[in-house]
Amino acid sequence: MVQLDIEKTLSELDLNEKIALTAGADFWHTVPIERLKIPSVRTSDGPNGVRGTRFFNGVPSACLPCSTALGSTWDVNLLEQIGELLGDEARSKGVHVLLGPTINIQRSPLGGRGFESFSEDGLLSGVLAGYYCKGVQSKGVGATLKHFVCNDQEHERMAVDTIVTARALREIYLVPFQQALRICQMACFMTAYNKINGCHVSENASIIGDILRKEWKWNGLVMSDWFGTYSTAEAINAGLDLEMPGPTRWRGSILNHAINSRKVADHVLDERVRNVLNLVNHAGKSDIPFGAEEKGLNRPEDQKLLRRAAAESIVLLRNNNSVLPFDKIKPIAVIGPNSKVAAYCGGGSASLPPYYTVTPFEGITNASKADVKFSQGAYAHQTLPPLGPLMKTLDGKKQGFEFKAYLEPPEERNSDSKPVDELHLVNSTGFLADYKNPRIPGQLFYADMEGTFTPAEDGLYDFGVIVIGSGKLFIDGELVVDNATTQRQGTAMFGSATVEEKGSKELKGGTSYKILFQYGSRPTSKLENRSVIDFGLGGFAFGTGKRIDKEESIKQAVDLASKMEQVILVAGLNGEWETEGNDREHMDLPPGTDELISRVLDVNPNVAVVIQSGTPVTMPWIDKANVLAQAWFGGNELGNGLADVLYGDVNPAGKLSLTIPARLEDNPSYLNFGSERGRVLYGEDVYVGYRYFEKAGVKPLFPFGYGLSYTTFARSGLSLQVDSEKPILEDGERITASLTVANTGSVAGAETVQLWIQPPAIANIKRPVRELKGFTKVHLQPGEKKDVSITVEKKIATSFWDEIRESWASEKGEYTVLITGTGEEALSEKFSVEKSRYWIGL
């Protein structure tokens, strides 16, 4: 166990060693100082699973349901167990610090990383994050709250200036971080890419120093987001302890110069180094070896937990005539673009190679005891699906293909040319940000990727190639796709890659074709690199798909649906449509999907429509649908979890963690989303999500907190116990709401009891109609009753941010506690604040 004497070690470090410790060594590790036995701490993405240290050809992992799915469970116990699983996964990969959870706010449905955060509501986000982190840190692994703060869009995320009022910053965007810290003291914070009111967060002393350090009294390590450091002296002085990743851009000789010219004081540098050394000690206590080999777990108990999480996250939005649950002994039809595709995760740094995935079709087939039929209907992919998993090695023995790296381009090789690296790959999407080989001296190399592809049926097949670098795809020696001669800038791979260049070829089903993909690394690219982010040696993706006739395919789906009593239509988005680096342009489903759903519902209104997405989509066919469920991106076990709910093995208990608007224009940030000339105005102020819809009287398609069950519940007997006011508000006066919850239906189920506070009218202050301040989840057998209570702090339940006083204000007046849950019935009781009082702090 490594435990440094911090002050002694600090006194023994020379200036250059101190400077070195304040930046990363590489993409995932801190700098070791061997002379003083200071080891290198390993970090890894989160939040949907633990990737390890490799984007390219990494060790597979457990992939969780996306965070909006976990948010929709409203289950703190489940989130703590999920955190424990992540802690074990981190340990298996030698990871000391998990880079998660993400707890930004979904102020718009278009946010590319919306799926990564829990909710549009800060209280729900912060409570769930706190228990998630408790679970992670119970395993000795440090958790990281990110992205601190207002990193709520991807458009120009590294340059955009977020213009936000102090009140909205406090009441909406800082709340999840503040609330999470009340539950668990995390090891790390990660700063956001963006500016706030003119200053990048990574060099914002008001945010890091005044609020986080002084007001909240948090003393862990603050790191930058990857490549999110923009200065030397300003960032050090503001409190940014660690620049990531390495090697440094800002803290080598530049920081030495800043110190010697007294732009950075020695004691300030010591503060930064002290926090790094404290993190080393935190890692040392974990008994996770430094520099450990990365391994996987994939334990049966983890699979069971992931299946439970996938099922419990599903939100049943409509079930007219009790169509669900379906009967396992009756035949069933599965239709739709997401049926045989595992949309298990959103895109970007949250994505990772899973141990396995279960598609909706596989999950339903596994559960059904009768015939299961399938029809595609439409495609949902934005770019062609990966070709690699459909390939075999040239010897026919393995799934995938062979990767051989060379120092010479193909035209310069001869019989003496030998590969400098040889790998067996299955995934034909390779992001080379952390690919290293000691035999490749610089950034330039070439790779041949070879295998065979045997299509299942005759047809015209499209092939596509995306690169950071250059690439050509050959089939039996014929050049089918050229993404080397002419290149166009695209949005893939964090906006650094080309568009997908395509070609097509008629293929015969059952015939094997030799595939050769020739790749050149990033220096061979013809694109101008304008990215702040350095993605190493480049990246590639090559895929294929059989071209379908849209009209004919929809007709086949409609015909099947018209003949079957039980039909499931699975549609939605995937990690291409929702991804880090790009925001969505609209809320619509992929082309052809709405037409497919609408026409299928015309012939069978009892089709169970299942939408997979991390954030809301438009539903122009909603009035035709009797059955609708939101299934999110469900992780490894998404197919099994979905089948469990559809067949009634699990009673759906999810509640929406965000509002689903009827149309994009109804969203409060509609006029103010995205960067305009380098700035974004948070013009909706504190009216984010449900706060706006309720204040403006705009009816959403489905409201925040909504979700149905296969049973019914009743809530009764609300009473309040309110602590008497004390001279000092920080003493922690409490409000406890007690009530009885009953399962009045015929099957076991779980009810989420939600506590809202409705404020009094206060002169010169506009406040939301009500705000969520507490919740609890209770499991009940048929006919069972339980007494439950929810306790909240009075100061937190009643306060708003007073911009003149620069403090929280709990104004005197009569407040109302509202209790809601499944169904529209609400209970209410009133309490009073006798005297206006003001406070700051956690």
Of 71, 48, 66, nearest in space to 689 by CA: 71
Residue with tokens 């920080």: 730
Distance CA 780, CA 488 (A): 57
What is the mean pLDDT of each successive set of 10 residues along the chain, which is 842 residues long? 94 98 97 97 94 92 98 98 98 98 97 97 98 98 98 95 98 98 98 98 98 98 97 98 97 97 98 98 96 96 98 98 98 98 92 94 98 97 95 96 97 92 95 91 96 96 97 98 95 89 97 98 88 79 96 98 98 95 96 98 98 98 98 97 98 98 97 96 98 98 98 97 70 90 98 98 92 98 98 96 97 97 94 95 94
Are 202 and 229 in contact by the 8 Å Cβ rule? The answer is: yes
Distance CA 43, CA 28 (A): 5
Per-residue model confidence as pLDDT tens digits over 396-428: 999 999 999 999 999 999 988 999 999 999 999
Give all domains of the chain, ordered by start, each with its CATH number. 1-32+187-285 (3.20.20.300), 303-381+556-696 (3.40.50.1700), 384-546 (2.60.120.260), 713-839 (2.60.40.10)
Cα 396–Cα 399–Cα 404 angle in degrees, nearest 5: 85
Per-residue burial over 483-509, b if 16 or more Cβ lie within 10 Å, else e, is bbeebeebbbbbbbbbbbbbbeeebee
Entry pTM:
0.96
Residue ranges of E strands in 653-706: 679-681
Are 622 and 611 in contact by the 8 Å Cβ rule? The answer is: no
Which residue in 225, 302, 594, 644 is the catalytic one? 225
At residue 296, φ and ψ (nearest 5 deg) are -110, 165
Residue with tokens 């066919």: 621
Distance CA 689, CA 667 (A): 8
Number of Cα atoms under 13 Å in the Cβ half of residue 740: 7
Tokens of 617: 């989509």
Q: Which helix (H) or strand (E) holds 713?
A: strand 713-722
Residues with Cβ < 8 Å from 263, sequence gap 6 or more? 232, 233
At residue 613, φ and ψ (nearest 5 deg) are -165, 155
Query: 3-state SS of 63-99?
Result: CCCCHHHHHCCCCHHHHHHHHHHHHHHHHHCCCCEEE
Tokens of 227: 């490549």
Tokens of 800: 């708003």
Distance CA 153, CA 674 (A): 7
Q: What is the CA radius of gyration of the chain?
A: 27
Note if 225 is an active site residue: yes
Distance CA 145, CA 149 (A): 10
Residues with Cβ < 8 Å from 418, sequence gap 6 or more? 406
Letter for the amino acid at 828?
S
